[in-house]
Chain A
Amino acid sequence: MRMRRLAYPYVLWMAVFTVAPLMLVAFYALTAYDADGRLFFTLQGFRNVFATDNTVAFNLFGLADLLGFNLQVPIYINVLAKSLEIALISTVVCLLIGYPAAYILAKRSRARRGQSNFWLFLFIMPMWMNALLRTYAWLALLEPMGIVNTFLGYLGIGPFQFIYNDFGIGLGMVYNYLPFMVLPIHSVLVKISPSLIEAAEDLGADSTRTFLRVTFPLSLPGILSGINMVFMPAMTTFLIPDLLGGGRYLLIGNAIERQFMVSRDMTTGSALSILLMIFVLASMRILTKYEQESSEGGLLA
């Protein structure tokens, strides 16, 4: 039928704006300009990423300090490891805080038969304020002479160093990405049929058992998509470490941003981007291996 023609313009668009850019990243990662401005093939970008002549001590989760070994790794491997460490911790914290919140919210919306998602609205509302600004407001709250420390000072406690360290960056990430964890879990939870839970209770399961055997397994798709939606931005952000890290943090996002915007080294920058992409895809692959075909659990489902 002639209708199918309507899809062709998009195919062209997709070729230009989805496929070509990614090919270009690969292309730039493998080429560089020589002194005369001619393009040539090179593996220098990847060599820079894995350069063994410029190494630092590897210390994932403080293991090196704990076990007392000294492993020298290429600097970018360390950067990737550090990013992974912070992203993983933030994702786990988001899940731990977010699941109960989603559960309570879901119970409330179900009690009101789905109408009045007022609490859910309240949950999304802050996202309408610019994320940068809200992150910046944490500075005002938590800096050594900020609002919280001043308040604690009146109580005779502190001051505490809340920001410019791992804790500050983690807090920024949890704060910014918590809704991405809560919303998909919530949208799965509200769809669980109450009769299933009633059935479980009729069959004699107590509420803990019902939760562990019925509710939790059914909410897994929401959890997985929540983890995806938190882990990916947490792994790649360069804003949060920029603002809350006191300028001392180079995570993979900052490293890539630096290569493009400061060092102007497109070859190394592209090589790093590819490395990051492979890394993120691989971790998501591991995660979603068990996930069934799911159209649910979307942000706005």
Chain B
Amino acid sequence: MIARLGKNIYMILIFLFLYAPVAVLIVFSFNKTRSRAVWGGFTLEWYRKLFQNVDILRALQVTLIVAVVSALVSTVIATITCIGLNSLNRRLRSLIMNVTYIPNITPDLVTGVSLMLLFYFIGLKTGFATLLLAHIAFNIPYAILSISPKFRQLDRNLFEAALDLGCKPRQAIIRVILPEIMPGIVTALILTFTLSIDDFVISYFTAGNQVSTLAITIYSMARKSVNPQINALSTLMFLTVLVLLLLVNIRTTRDLRDKQNQGDLRK
């Protein structure tokens, strides 16, 4: 009983720690004054201004486009690569996989710097293109690492069987292999999208001065005073995710309860 109480208190403290800054941001998105310590009354002013602020909206747009495109491209490349890797011999495959691991164990800072040096070296001007390339580049290894384990679980004979039954290789891939590795592909999409949205360091080094992601915009303001409009935007984004999570969670819980009920009936 006491142990249980202790556990609950512990978890409450942890969640308090995790959510205190989030709460502060949400509260201050409704704060009349710009100050970050004083409550000056309730207002929706910042939300109204947010939708007129071209700079912030553009940054949001760049962030979303880069996240979506880099997630899709890197997942597609990773899927194709994994299919190819699967039919390579063991030695070559493990060599490639080892190199793929490199970005995972390289600090973000070094990755960002090294990509910046690469673009500088080949004379590519930093901007949207380099930003996107950089995101695809750091996403691909994560996508491959999410998809390749699914191939390990895949029955090698499945593909052969499909061919024996008269499928062309392309058909066999689409009809047989893809459905099998789908969970991996979905994980890859989620992971790369999240990583791209969250990234600051690599974007900071590769975006140049003409484009800006949300993270870069926030960084340039953060030391003095963050524009409350950014708080408003984050609140909106946060609430969107929260509502979706709750909806899905409620639905799966209900599904599960239904299933359990059916199970009980069958007994």
Contact = CB atoms under 8 A, between A and B. Distances in A.
Interface of A: 1-11, 13-14, 16-22, 24-25, 28, 97, 100-101, 104-105, 115-116, 118-119, 121-123, 125-141, 143, 145-147, 150, 175, 178, 232-233, 235-239, 242-243, 253, 256-257, 260, 266, 269-270, 273, 276-277, 280-281, 284, 295, 298-300
Nearest to B226: A136
Nearest to B117: A24
Contacts of B77: 9-10, 13
B14 A3 contact: no
A2 B81 contact: no
B21 interface: yes
Given A6-B80, A7-B81, A147-B24, A20 B237 contact: no
A9 B77 CA distance: 9
Contact of A130 (B37, B100, B234, B249): B234
B214 interface: yes
28 contacts: A4-B87, A6-B80, A7-B85, A7-B96, A8-B84, A9-B77, A13-B77, A13-B137, A101-B14, A118-B249, A121-B249, A122-B15, A123-B15, A129-B238, A130-B198, A132-B219, A134-B25, A135-B21, A135-B222, A136-B226, A137-B21, A143-B37, A232-B107, A256-B113, A260-B205, A273-B109, A273-B110, A276-B107
A10 B84 contact: yes
B262 interface: no
Contacts of B103: 18
A95 to B, nearest CB: 14
A126 B14 CA distance: 12
B37 A104 contact: no
A133 B11 contact: no
Those 9 A-B pairs whose CB atoms lie nearest each other, nearest first? A7-B84, A6-B84, A137-B21, A21-B114, A236-B107, A10-B81, A17-B137, A140-B36, A3-B87
Given A7-B88, A10-B140, A126-B22, A136 B110 contact: no
Given A7-B85, A125-B242, 7 more contacts: A3-B87, A8-B84, A18-B103, A131-B198, A132-B215, A140-B37, A237-B109
Query: Mostly helix, strand, loop or mixed at chain B's interface?
Result: helix
A300 B234 contact: no
A72 B23 CA distance: 46
A79 B145 CA distance: 34
Contacts of B214: 130
B234 A6 contact: no
Contact of A129 (B20, B25, B84): B25
Nearest to B118: A21
Q: Chain B, interface size: which category?
A: 35 or more
B245 interface: yes
Interface in B16-39: 17-22, 24-25, 28, 36-37
A3 B37 contact: no
A229 to B, nearest CB: 10
A225 to B, nearest CB: 11
Nearest to B95: A11
Contact of A175 (B17, B88, B109): B17
B225 to A, nearest CB: 9
A122 B10 CA distance: 15
A128 B241 contact: yes
B105 interface: yes
B191 to A, nearest CB: 6
